[in-house]
Amino acid sequence: MLSIQRGSNVAGRIPFLIQSTIARPPPPAYVSRVKLSVKSDYAARAVLGLARLYHTGQAVKLDTLAEAYRVPPNYLVQILIELKAQHLVKSVRGKEGGYLLARPPAEISLGDVLRCMHGEVFDTPALSDPQCPPELRRAWKKLQSALNDAATAITLQQLLEEGSEKEKMYYI
């Protein structure tokens, strides 16, 4: 039993003490809202696959690319059409036809691929919302700029070099 003396400071704090000792349900699991789409991932896989074969000059068949990178062929064709419209890939018709990069891997960035799929690398309605506090809007703009710069700084050539470095590594 809790006894409280007159004039004690504890009496005014009882509601707080009771509330703070009641078991509260855990907060909901964190769900990331800033994430890249599956479409972006598939597009990045496809252009990286084409970059790996750029030096051969040979076009890669859609089915070969889809199977190698585990991308549904029907979805991949839609992605490649968008990449082609932005001049990141080109297609070759005929029996030996398929897809290849439109430019060297050093001239295509991950940012190019992401912007092709979705416009901005990072976007929020707050950037154009007059109800959003200006200091927060500036923070969102800084974040947008930083993510855009980071994605633009990563070229397909860099990814190829990272991949070849790992292949050269061996363990004792």
Domains and CATH numbers, the chain: 34-121+155-162 (1.10.10.10)
pLDDT value, residue 4: 46
Asked if 83 contacts 89 with a C-beta cutoff of 8 angstroms, the reply is yes
CB count in 10 Å sphere of residue 119: 8
pLDDT value, residue 166: 63
CA proximity to 104, closest of 153, 50, 61, 41: 50
Mean pLDDT of 127-139: 91
The mean pLDDT value of the chain amounts to 83
pLDDT digits (tens, 9 = 90+) for 20-57: 444 555 555 544 456 788 999 999 999 999 999 999 99
